[in-house]
Amino acid sequence: MKIVTIIGARPQIIKAAGLSRAIKNNFSDKIEEIIVHTGQHYDQNMSEVFFEELGIPKPNINLNVGSGKHGEQTAKMISGIEDILINEQPDAIVLYGDTNSTLAGAVAASKIHVPIVHIEAGLRSYNKQMPEEINRIMCDHASTLLFSPTKAGVENLVKEGFKLDNIAPFNSDQPGVFHCGDIMYDNSLYFSELSDKKSSVLQDNKIKAGGYVLSTIHRNDNTDQPERLSGIFEAILELIDVYGLDFVLPLHPRTEKQMKVNLSETLQKRIEEEVRLKLIPPVSFLDMIALEKNSKIVVTDSGGVQKEAFFFQKPCVILRPETEWVELVACGAAKIVGWHKEQIIDAFNGYMNTEQIDFPPLFGDGEAGKFMCEKMLESLG
């Protein structure tokens, strides 16, 4: 079986490590994988670093599309992916998550009838202002095999008319929907020990296990609106004052750029002068795992980081008005707060005063990649 895997943004590169590892370890005689990087993310620390440290095969092709307006960026990707699919004639295309690279793969493949395998299917924020919500809905509805990491994801698909009878042969009119666990849980388990051995990120940044908060911000909703970005940083500065904890914030390039545009000079100065607020460049995945495992609380608008906080049993304050990972909130391990200073502080205070939080097993057994390969071979091989 020949598959073309599309990656482009940071989280997709990390997710792809899970499937590539399953192929290499269990199915190397049965599945040939061709990796195509759209070039959506291109900085060394947003892309290349992950190939080296996670042992992902280097992309066979890089479209080098780069940044741009949604339509412009997606169109270039569609055109590049279409040529590759025509050339390679794969049995399926594998798409991850909900970025513009995902959508481009779905459009290109569906037009020329290449079956689509969507990993992380069924997730919904029910907020169509998010570019990701449109991308994931469109991708799901063009897919032949839908692998959902959560029960809520499967339920969302059923609400949208997908059937669970799962009778092969599958096609885009009669797709297969599988609840299979989370490929990122596979990765977090797999790389956790290596991170313990290799990462020196705590020493490098002079922080102590349990003595800091890990934070990431990159959603366009937060970075591109001055009021929201300011609310988040005001809350962080106040929490540092109250608790005397360090805040470590690996800065997404989008955020670094938008902070200069959207924060007042006074606020930028306060941020610069606060030594306990450590703004650092994006870190490698092994460093990120170390930062997550040793943090006290995680404050983030990232989908992936929300979940990894949960995997490593850390409470999470979600800087968004909703989440696709509703289970985290339902079990009390995460709180949705949006961008309002007071709500962020309230939620944070709540976790500082909470002793016991439950982290039930919600994301599978760490073998989602293997399960997906088996299903692909059964139905598309």
Binding interface with ligand UDP (CB under 6 A): 10-11, 14, 216, 218, 250, 282-283, 285, 288, 302-305, 308
Q: Which of 48, 57, 131, 270 binds ligand UD1 (CB under 6 A)?
A: 131
Q: Are the beta carbons of 145 and 168 closer than 8 angstroms? A: no
Nearer Cβ to ligand UDP, position 146 or 283?
283
* 236 part of the interface to ligand UD1, by CB under 6 A: no
- Please give the Cα distance from 32 to 235 (Å, whole number): 49
* 307 part of the interface to ligand UD1, by CB under 6 A: no
Q: Confirm whether 179 is a catalytic residue.
A: no
Encoded tokens for 153: 């994801």
Nearer Cβ to ligand UDP, position 143 or 302?
302
Closest CA to 376 of 141, 89, 168, 237: 168
Helix axis angle, 226-243 to 253-262, nearest 10°: 100
Q: Which of these is catalytic: 141, 179, 218, 252?
A: 218
State the minimum distance, in angstroms, from the CB of residue 103 to ligand UDP.
Answer: 14
* 75 part of the interface to ligand UD1, by CB under 6 A: no
Q: Which of 3, 5, 11, 154 binds ligand UD1 (CB under 6 A)?
A: 11
- Please give the Cα distance from 359 to 330 (Å, whole number): 11
Q: Which does 250 bind (CB under 5 to 8 A by kind): ligand UD1, ligand UDP, none?
A: ligand UDP
For the chain, give me the number of helices (H) and strands (E)? Answer: 17, 13
Q: If 0-12 CB within 10 Å is exposed, 13-18 middle and 19+ buried, where does residue 358 land?
A: exposed
State the minimum distance, in angstroms, from the CB of residue 248 to ligand UD1.
Answer: 18
- Please give the Cα distance from 40 to 63 (Å, whole number): 9
Closest CA to 327 of 180, 179, 153: 153
Nearer Cβ to ligand UD1, position 99 or 125?
99
State the minimum distance, in angstroms, from the CB of residue 12 to ligand UD1.
Answer: 8
Encoded tokens for 116: 């689509």
- Please give the Cα distance from 123 to 325 (Å, whole number): 8
Nearer Cβ to ligand UDP, position 12 or 144?
12
- Please give the Cα distance from 340 to 373 (Å, whole number): 43
State the minimum distance, in angstroms, from the CB of residue 132 to ligand UDP.
Answer: 7
DSSP for residue 9: S
Which of these segments, 41-49, 51-59, 182-190, 287-295, binds ligand UD1 (CB under 6 A)?
41-49
Nearer Cβ to ligand UDP, position 175 or 315?
315
Q: Which of 25, 28, 30, 43 binds ligand UD1 (CB under 6 A)?
A: 43
- CA distance from start to end of the chain: 5
Q: Which of 4, 7, 9, 362 binds ligand UD1 (CB under 6 A)?
A: 9
Residue 7: strand pairing partners:
37
Q: Where along the sequence are the contacts to ligand UD1 (CB under 6 A)?
A: 9-11, 40-43, 46, 67, 98-100, 131-132, 218, 220, 252-254, 257
* Catalytic positions: 218
